[in-house]
Structure 1
Amino acid sequence: MLAHGARDAAWAAPFERVAAAVRAARPGLAVALAYLEFMAPDLPSAGAALAQAGCRHVTVLPLFLGVGGHVRKDLPVLLERLRAQHPGVRWTLAPTIGEDARLVAAIAAIALDAADAEYDVRL
């Protein structure tokens, strides 16, 4: 899984919970969480670790809501580098999570719940 990354380490907590949930649901599945920038591991490092662990097929799932420049331009370059560095591994790119109707429905449901609730969240 690939998230954008941020300078604030707390930003990564939801993504780490997603990775933990995937690992718990599929204990035999090798799962790595990587970041495009600001945080470690980056995609090349996480990909190398998966290859060294014996993975022969790695699917990169962008944890992005939309398809912007990072997904269209940066990610294909990173995948090509991984393919060149680890030719025995098949690297595939999954659609961004924001393109999945299930995520859109979940966000819409949360938005509707928020419209009906009263919050006083202090950050």
Structure 2
Amino acid sequence: MPSPPALLLIAHGSRDPRHAATVEALVRRVRLLRPGLSVATAYLDHCAPRLPQVVQRLAGAPAVAVPLLLNRAFHAKHDIPAALRAARAGCPVAAVLGPDPLLLAALERRLAEAGLDLASAAARARTGVVLAAAGSSDPAADATTRALAARWQRERGWGAVTVAYASAGGPRVPDALAALRAQGLRRTAVAPYLLAPGLLPDRIATAAEEAGADVLAPVLGAAPEVAHLLLRRYAEAGQGLRAVAA
């Protein structure tokens, strides 16, 4: 039986060393879930190795590119396709990670780790959550984030879930917290909808603390749900590749 195609994980990269460390932790979790699967990581900026180096290392072997992105915005629509073309990587590209129920499960995992009671339906009904995303100049991307927030509120019975952004337009975390309190919600929580630590997550954390949020969750990071979702996207995009090979 031929070996499965490699998983080519494409991350944006950051000057903050916590970013690469988080990506490496996520890759370790993926390898534990799929022993024997070849996993290679490439960065678009700031970190090494860059995409051309990794493509050269793969030497034409079958691979499936999986963007480590939560939303289909500029990086997914333009940066990654352009970088793959420049590197002459003719591999299929998986969909971005979001939106997906597994991400909601990961967000709840992080909120629980931060001390929020998720077992009580009454406690959830008294809690307002700020889904704090990076933000985008792409209206479709922001609409997707808002739809995810609405789904989270509807399916899990939160008192309210509202969106805030660390950059671009839209409400900031203090505004979102104030809006939740104006609705009479007794407890507030901020859930960063971001994969790795860095400038924007730090900005969200500082704003949440200064605005008096009751609970501040960590970023999604190497949550098990994220690793499972990466492998799902890999499998979905790799179906066509395996069909051609067969």
**TM range, normalised to the smaller chain?**
0.7 to 0.9
Cα distance between partner residues in 1 of 2:108 and 2:79: 29
1:29 corresponds to 2:49:
no
CA apart distance, 1:47: 1.8
Corresponding position of 1:78: 83
Q: What residue is the counterpart of 1:61 in the other structure?
A: 66
User: What letter is aligned with 1:24?
Assistant: L
Does the CA-based 8 Å contact 1:61-1:95 persist in structure 2? yes
Q: Which has the larger radius of gyration?
A: 2
Check the 8 A contact 1:3/1:33 in 2, yes or no.
yes
Secondary structure of the corresponding residue to residue 28 of structure 2: helix
> 3-state SS of the aligned residue for 2:92?
strand
Contact 2:111 2:215 in 1 (8 A): no
Cα pair 2:13 2:46 within 8 Å, conserved:
yes
Q: What are the Cα deviations for residues 15-69 of structure 1, in whole angstroms up to 9, with x where unaligned?
A: 101111222332321111111110001112112212x2x62x2111111111221
Q: Which residue is 1:102 aligned to?
A: 102
2:115/2:215 contact within 8 Å kept: no
SS of the residue aligned with 1:116?
A: coil
8 A contact 1:2–1:63 mirrored in 2: yes
AA aligned to 2:17 is: A
Label 1:106 to 1:70 Cα distance change in 2 as closer, same or farther (>3 A): same
The partner residue of 2:50 within 22, 42, 46 is 42
Deviation at 1:78, TM superposition (A): 1.6
Q: Which has the higher strand share?
A: 2
Identity %: 35
Whether the 8 Å CA contact 2:70–2:96 is kept in 1: the answer is yes
Give the match's secondary structure for 2:40. coil
Amino acid at match of 2:111: A
Once the two structures are superposed, the pairs formed by residues 6-17 of structure 1 within 5 Å of their partners are 6-17=14-25
Structure 1, unaligned runs of 5 or more: none
Q: How many residues align?
A: 113
Is contact 1:34-1:46 (8 Å) kept?
A: yes
Does the aligned pair in 2 maintain the 1:3–1:34 contact within 8 Å? yes
Tell me how far 1:113 sits from its aligned partner. Answer: 5.6
Q: CA RMSD in A?
A: 2.7
Question: Separation in 2 of the partners of 1:120 and 1:60?
Answer: 32
Q: What is the match of residue 111 of structure 1? A: 111
Runs of 4+ in 1 over 3 A off after TM superposition: 111-115, 117-121
CA contact (8 A) 1:2 1:60 kept: yes
